[in-house]
Structure 1
Amino acid sequence: MEKSPPSEEDVLHYFERFSNWGRWGENDQLGTINHITAAVRADAARLITSGVPISCGRPIETGTTAEDVPGAAPPHRFMLRSGEGLRDPARVPPPGFAPDGRLAAASEYLGYAAHGYRITHLDGLSHAFWDHHMYNGVPAERVNAHQGAGHHGIENYQDGIVTRGVLVDVPRHRGVRWLEPGDGVTGPEVRAILAEQEVEVRAGDALLLRTGYGRKRAELGADPPETGSAGWDASCLPLFHEWQISLCGADTAQDVRPSPYPGIRSPIHAVGLVAMGMPLIDNADFERLAAHCAAQHRWSFFFTVAPLAVTGSTSSAVNPLAVF
């Protein structure tokens, strides 16, 4: 049984205890996604019975919000073409379009910085470093201004992540509307919730944490980053390794904040990404999913994530889908 809460020394030992460096070869760039076999995908597909899809992503809004950290670059949309001025007789159309043509088109340029606390995104294995290295012992210098992530780029997941998803609904278990900032969900509690939900985690599963922040965000507005957040306690890391999950997600940025460990700011990110090689889905929204799970009394489902294959990127905005 995992110790809860683990000491900082315990967590520091997790880097060795739960390391997957070399497990799938010295050149591996998939990490724990290797737990998802063809058989795991096929079994996940059999969970689709009603064909009901549910998005687990937040809409991306342009402009600033309370969730932006100081100096953050908010999402931008620049219109390159629009429907304005189509009736102007002096209009100069873009190449390929006639001035008096009946067909016109709109287009835009989109820009965003995925990392942070507002955009639902997938963290690639190049996102985090510990002692100047990323997963599998790759030097941090392989991520540089010239080529971006020269190793462990998000493009390694261009075939998508297709597996069984399991929701850990903490507010339902505790009988509260949502968890408060700084409230950690421990390993023993995760075990208790899954037992209550009658779900046994399998190798390759995606484990998804609902803290209820999506509900709080909708009813009261977003929390600024300095407020902190609920999230996985470090005592969950032994479970992730024992159960051989492929990735974990949360409706916050994973880690309980502020961190109880002065020397380890984000243990789920640090141990998960660097030692285990486990990609993370930050800032999801599991409110609709939780309601459907409760109505169906079923907390496992087909789950898929398809990141944009941007070569050399450390992340991608995503719209994860649960299908029943």
Structure 2
Amino acid sequence: MSKQEFSFPAEAEVIAYMETLSNWGRWGEDDRVGTLNHITDEVRVAAAAMIRTGKAVSLSRDIDPLEADPLHSGIAQVQRFMGLHEVADHLGGEQRRFDAVTEYVGISAHGSNTHIDGLAHYSWEGTNYNGFKESDTTSLFGAKSLSVHQADRGFLTRGVLLDIAALHDVRWLERGHPVTPDELEAAERRQGVTVRPGDAMLIHTGNVEAILTEGPDAPGPAARQAGLHAACLPFLHERGVAVLGNDGIQDVQPSGYGLDLMRPVHTVGLVALGLWLIDNMQLTELAATCRQEQRWEFFFAALPWRMKGVTSSASNPVAVF
């Protein structure tokens, strides 16, 4: 399949997606969870029926304070401070046979680690999803209107892996490969699955494995990455995708557009659709398991922090077969 055969939308058409694909008001004027509304009780019950063998696969990597930015994102700070002999500090020197340790942990959430992007993460012309003002998020009070803690029921749903690397019979796609909706549909046909409302749609490009194996081809945001082209945004909206996960930053880099659309899947997805994203997943083991099991659908679980005022959450998503 040649990407040259696909007609990519012009920049003006992508900008128009902010209105034509908008979910603003769809679930009420005060809605703060966007596409998670697609994950109904019925969707969760159906997803639970996906479990047959109980085999579980983690879709995250370890967060290592000694190697805080393994993907060279340019955004990395992980701190771990240990408090030793914590119990002794409160017992006035009394004898005891046990001790305990506490610690402080700090994470720059939007970096190399696998993390959930909340709806206050991106804005467009001063506005977040559903018309909430960008100014509602401040350094002092955090994200007051759209916060990750509002996704308190978690992402418990049917997961579907679309293996685009396997579609092209490679371990990982070429750096800067723009995944098109034609490729998404071709992967569905090849695997015998169809993405449906409420799904967590995961895209295997092999990007994380490529960077961990070969390193980035440029520092920070300048690095090329395989990812979804903005042309996939109507597919995400029409299929009712609840959560989008990727072994990269979702967007192909470079995007093919100007600075305003440097990351259009992030911008249009978060602001217009209210679509929750999970960046930098580790999907290599999942892809191998899907091939072994000969099924590309599974029970999917990811639980964001119930922490008020934040735009992101570290997470360890898990697929259960």
TM-score normalised to structure 1 length: 0.92
Cα shift at 1:67 = 3.5
Q: Secondary structure at the match of 1:104?
A: coil
Residues 71 and 208, structure 2, Cα contact 8 Å, conserved in 1 = no
Cα shift at 1:214 = 3.1
Q: Which amino acid aligns with 1:232?
A: L
Match of 2:155 among 135, 158, 161: 161
Q: Which moved more, 1:220-229 or 1:201-210?
A: 220-229
Match of 2:3 in 1: none
Q: Which amino acid aligns with 2:51?
A: I
Match of 2:65 in 1: 62
Q: Secondary structure at the match of 2:261?
A: coil
Residues 44 and 156, structure 2, Cα contact 8 Å, conserved in 1 = yes
Q: Which amino acid aligns with 1:193?
A: A
Q: Secondary structure at the match of 1:54?
A: strand
Match of 1:267 in 2: 264
Distance 1:81 1:176, change over 3 A: same
Match of 1:31 among 31, 34, 37: 34
Match of 1:284 among 277, 281, 286: 281
Q: Secondary structure at the match of 1:281?
A: strand
Q: Secondary structure at the match of 1:260?
A: coil
Q: Which moved more, 1:224-233 or 1:197-206?
A: 224-233
Residues 307 and 316, structure 1, Cα contact 8 Å, conserved in 2 = yes
Residues 204 and 283, structure 2, Cα contact 8 Å, conserved in 1 = yes
Match of 1:101 in 2: 96
Match of 1:142 in 2: 136
How big is each residue's C-alpha offset from its partner over 1:31-84, in whole Å with a ceiling of 9 and x where there is no partner? Answer: 0000111000000000001011111011111144353455x441111111269x
Distance 1:95 1:162, change over 3 A: same
Q: Which amino acid aligns with 2:304?
A: P
Correspondence 1:39-78 to 2 at 5 A: 39-63=42-66, 64-65=68-69, 67-70=71-74, 72-78=75-81
How big is each residue's C-alpha offset from its partner over 1:151-195, in whole Å with a ceiling of 9 and x where there is no partner? Answer: 110000122111000001111110112112211110111100111
Distance 1:218 1:40, change over 3 A: same
* Structure 1: segments with no counterpart, 5+ residues: 84-91
Match of 1:320 in 2: 317
Match of 1:172 in 2: 166
Give the Cα–Cα distance (whole angstroms) in 2 for the partners of residues 168 and 97 of structure 1: 59
Distance 1:38 1:7, change over 3 A: same
* Structure 2: segments with no counterpart, 5+ residues: 1-5
Cα shift at 1:209 = 0.7
Give the Cα–Cα distance (whole angstroms) in 1 for the partners of residues 234 and 39 of structure 2: 19
Cα shift at 1:314 = 0.5
Give the Cα–Cα distance (whole angstroms) in 2 for the partners of residues 206 and 222 of structure 1: 27
Q: Percent of aligned pairs with the same residue?
A: 43
Cα shift at 1:216 = 2.1
Q: Which amino acid aligns with 1:58?
A: R
TM-score normalised to structure 2 length: 0.93
Q: Which moved more, 1:208-217 or 1:153-162?
A: 208-217
CA RMSD of aligned residues (A): 1.8
Match of 2:203 among 191, 195, 209: 209
Q: Secondary structure at the match of 2:89?
A: coil
Q: Does 1:243 align with 2:239?
A: yes
